Chains A and B, each alone.
Chain A
């Protein structure tokens, strides 16, 4: 049995006196996909940032490839792709230049070719030489997905990957997620609604009151979410 790509042990995070994550136990294997649902401020993004090593947990451990995320060496950082709420893109560079820049940072064999290929995959080939400043939110989101997946990471962390995407855009990103899982990557994504990606078995978790809970049946989450919204939570 292979070692888990992501493993957290009693992970907790507090901002000041507000506990955001409590006792989070999560194990994800290569070639699997998981989605985390939960309301705004539930701590979904915090969990992803901790796994990416951008924030330190208040207590417990977060391990990625068996390494503590507090001090991830470059060769492990290289294998993580994070698509965060912020796009990490330079507004004054064109889409192509942005991808080529990140391709160079990740020492890709041919950044130019990779950038070109990924622009095609996210349907931005026509907009390749337009500055990101002029992009719509949806285009920027697609480019951000391409940026995160550029180096073919073994762990893909996606924060609201479908936000502000139209139907076509969502299809493209869903296909990319499926592709990543099929080539053996581990994908962990957050979302508001219940995700459906054809042909992929997705684990669904929910963060509620700082705790991560697994849901075997997606309908349950949906119903649970509705009840809570009726109660005004």
Chain B
């Protein structure tokens, strides 16, 4: 995970995929017949949603492993995933909102998926506020792990409840009839490339942040060893 070669390779792949996805979205893919140009946001919105949810899943998984094994590595991974996920979740909401204005005629509506996403955003915002309000001790790492797990447990119930509450979000990918809104194969190709591009971007950012947090943890351990060594060196013989 900390190998700079892999990281650089991933960074360049991200760049290439991002350029490819820009080309495909703005030049290659035909715009949707009904929605027009606004529909193009979809190709960024869906990949953003996927990586945001993947991040939050990762926070919970890292939390479980942290409580189980107690290795600082898992806390660093969970924290990095929460931060990255928050960025993508915010972008997803913004992108969705820009799409919704011309299509639904409003920036925001209390549709079930929007509500669910917003609640997720609030939960992980709370997680980050907790982390920001305290020093990085094993105690706070455990708090983070517990909140990550509890939030993930809550997601299925949130989904069910907000769906019963109300829904107008388009079921774009697969509807009950087995059809999807993407008639043109070029649309599917574009979506695939965008998914790959955003996944690569996400993995790259996550890796950068994770490496940074790993370094910080290692520095903490080293500093405390130096402090012990300094104290030992100044002992009267």
A touches B (Cβ under 8 A): yes
A17 to chain B: closest residue by CB: B227
> Could you say which of B40-48, B98-106, B228-236 contacts chain A?
B228-236
What does the 1/0 interface line of A1-22 toward B look like (CB < 8 Å)?
0000000000010101111001
Residues of chain B contacted by A209 (CB below 8 angstroms): 231, 235
A22 touches B231 (CB 8 A): yes
Chain B, interface SS category: helix
A19 touches B235 (CB 8 A): no
A58 within 8 A of B: yes
With the chains together, A19 CA to B227 CA distance in Å?
7
Instruction: Name the contact of A18 in the complex, choosing from B138, B227, B232, B235 (C-beta under 8 A).
Output: B227
A14 touches B235 (CB 8 A): no
B223 to chain A: closest residue by CB: A17
With the chains together, A14 CA to B231 CA distance in Å?
11
What does the 1/0 interface line of A196-233 toward B look like (CB < 8 Å)?
00000000000001110000000000000000000000
Report the interface size class on chain A: 10 to 19
A19 touches B138 (CB 8 A): no
Residues of chain A contacted by B212 (CB below 8 angstroms): none
A15 to chain B, nearest CB (A): 9
B224 within 8 A of A: yes
CB contact list, B209-237 vs A, under 8 A: 223-224, 227-228, 231-232, 235
Residues of chain A contacted by B228 (CB below 8 angstroms): 12, 14, 19, 22
B236 to chain A: closest residue by CB: A209
Residues of chain A contacted by B232 (CB below 8 angstroms): 22
A28 within 8 A of B: no
With the chains together, A56 CA to B139 CA distance in Å?
11
14 contacts between A and B (CB under 8 A): A12-B228, A14-B224, A14-B227, A17-B223, A17-B224, A17-B227, A18-B227, A19-B224, A19-B228, A19-B231, A22-B228, A56-B138, A209-B235, A211-B235
